[in-house]
Amino acid sequence: MPWTLSTEFTFDSAHTITGYDGPCGRLHGHTYRVRLQLTSERLRPSAHVRRSIMVADFKTLKWAKKDVTQGGLDHAYLNDLPDLGDDTTAEVIAAYLHRETLRRVKETLDEGDDGADLRLRVSLWETPDSCCEYWE
């Protein structure tokens, strides 16, 4: 994979690990830190430039940084999101970020391009020293 696009951002959210016997079972919040690494075998056009000079737009990768009222995860109560529900562990959120980010990137591809060469690695820090990684 010749190209790796890498970007990092944070979002602040609240959650409750339903059924957890301990402090995580109570309403609390985190400043989540996200690193997304997207690899590609070739360059493509994007929504903003029609020449094949990009892996993807950074803007597309950073969707989750947006406020929850604009479709992101910032200032959300994560348990309210239908795709997460009561299972808002770092593991579940990382898998969700993986699925949803790849879906959004593939939405921007030209017709006939299935993006089969794209690979995404998600790293999600719930605290400064605890991270979950998800990739396929």
| Residue stretches of the annotated binding site | 15, 28, 30
Is 75 a catalytic site residue? Answer: yes
* Catalytic (active site) residue 126: yes
Q: Which of 8, 48, 126, 133 is catalytic?
A: 126
What is the chain's percent helix, strand, coil content, to nearest 5? Answer: 25, 35, 40
Partner residues linked to 124 by β-bridges: 34, 132
The catalytic position among 24, 91, 100, 131 is 24
Catalytic residue (choose from 8, 41, 75, 100): 75
Going by the annotation, the residues of the binding site for Zn(2+) are: 15, 28, 30
- 132: Cβ contacts below 8 Å, ≥ 6 apart: 90, 91, 93, 94, 123, 124, 126
Residue 113 neighbours by CB distance under 10 Å: 14
Catalytically active residues, by annotation: 24, 75, 126
